[in-house]
Structure 1
């Protein structure tokens, strides 16, 4: 899955930032919807962080001079935030199994 995000960012690194942001924010919720089950929050946060790192890497390769320091990229993420991870399906509530 991270390979798919990497391939997308590599192939579309020259697209506008808005287009990249919109597409990533359509892909991430789909991943979170599929894998967002009880007990998987830590893994979802790791995926979210890795996608940020991948996007940072490929934005820094748009040209020879376009390396972006992480501090500047953090400010960039405030303007173009990626969808945060969230649990979509709760299968356990207390000690009881929830039927869905």
Structure 2
């Protein structure tokens, strides 16, 4: 049985260490979709800004997302948010003019190395100290 509370879905699962039953947590699908949609709209509206400013703001948004959703058992959802954000950046930064600005290789090996995005971390352990 599952339920949603404060942007998380709580569900029943087993502890990986000893096979004990415990409650597990992941980002609510509804909240995940709305956060991706909000990120898309922000990138779309601000794609004409200088890259340095875009990436500085995106990193602040990612940091806030990681601090709220970076809890035990939610690693895959947080990594998925970063992955989706990278592809949204690639898509919308390529639409700054009529010509294609970046190839996939140039974007991921050039732009993202020059302006790195924050990597996700688990900030809060809900069950272990």
Alignment partner, residue 70 of structure 2 = 36
Which residue number corresponds to residue 113 of structure 2?
78
TM-score (norm 2): 0.70
Return 5+ residue gaps in structure 1 as ranges: none
- Relative to its length, the structure with more helix (as a share) is 1
TM-score (norm 1): 0.90
Once the two structures are TM-superposed, the CA of residue 67 in structure 1 deviates from its matched residue by 3.8
Q: Aligned-pair RMSD on alpha carbons?
A: 1.0
Q: Please name the residue that 2:125 is paired with.
A: 90
Deviations 1:18-53 (A, max 9, x none): 010000010001011111100000111110000000
Deviations 1:54-97 (A, max 9, x none): 0111100000013421111112101111111111110122xxxx
Tell me the CA shift for residue 9 of structure 1: 0.4
Q: Does the alignment pair 1:16 with 2:41? A: no
Q: Does 2:83 align with 1:49?
A: yes
Q: Where does structure 1 differ by over 3 angstroms across 4 or more consecutive aligned residues?
A: none
How many residues of Structure 1 are paired with residues of Structure 2 in the alignment?
94
Aligned to 1:86, the other structure's residue is in SS state coil
Q: Secondary structure at the match of 1:68?
A: coil
Higher strand residue share: 2
SS in 2 for 1:92: coil
**Aligned counterpart, 2:21:** none
- Aligned-partner Cα distance in 2 for 1:17–1:92: 40
Unpaired stretches in structure 2, ≥5 consecutive residues: 1-34
